[in-house]
Amino acid sequence: MKKHGILNSHIAKLLADLGHTDTIVIADAGLPVPQGVPKIDLALSLGTPSFKEVTELLAKEVEVEKLTIAKEMETDNPKQAEFLKKQFSNQPIEHLSHEALKKATKQAKAVIRTGEATPYANCILHAGVIF
């Protein structure tokens, strides 16, 4: 049995398979998942697991070169926006409209659905390279 890191086998495989510039989405409970994009559903109940918990864990496992969020998060969910600014303080954050962000999820390797129940608590992680 694996001793450290993410134990979910689907997420562990997804992260091991990521290449430079590949994207994954961390989503709240309501974000629609485009047809054809795999969904890894972690939602147990509203709020569990939280967007913050899942994002913190993935940030420890993935080299992130850029982050994309909905610009609506800044005004409608400033607590989550501030969390992301602190968590990814060394990476640029791109802002798109929520509609444009939903369209961008079509290119993702997968969507990881959390139980988060706050508005616009979604982000796209762009994989970097470790060398």
Residue positions in the annotated binding site for substrate?
A: 28, 98, 120-122
Alpha-carbon distance of 126 to 26, in angstroms, equals 11
Dihedral angle, C-alpha 95, 17, 37, 100, nearest 10 °: 10
Catalytic residue among 4, 10, 20, 126: 20
By the 8 A CB rule, do 69 and 126 touch? no
As a residue count, the chain comes to 131
Q: 68: closest CA among 30, 40, 108, 9? A: 108
20 is catalytic: yes
At 3, the amino acid letter reads K
Residues tagged active-site = 20
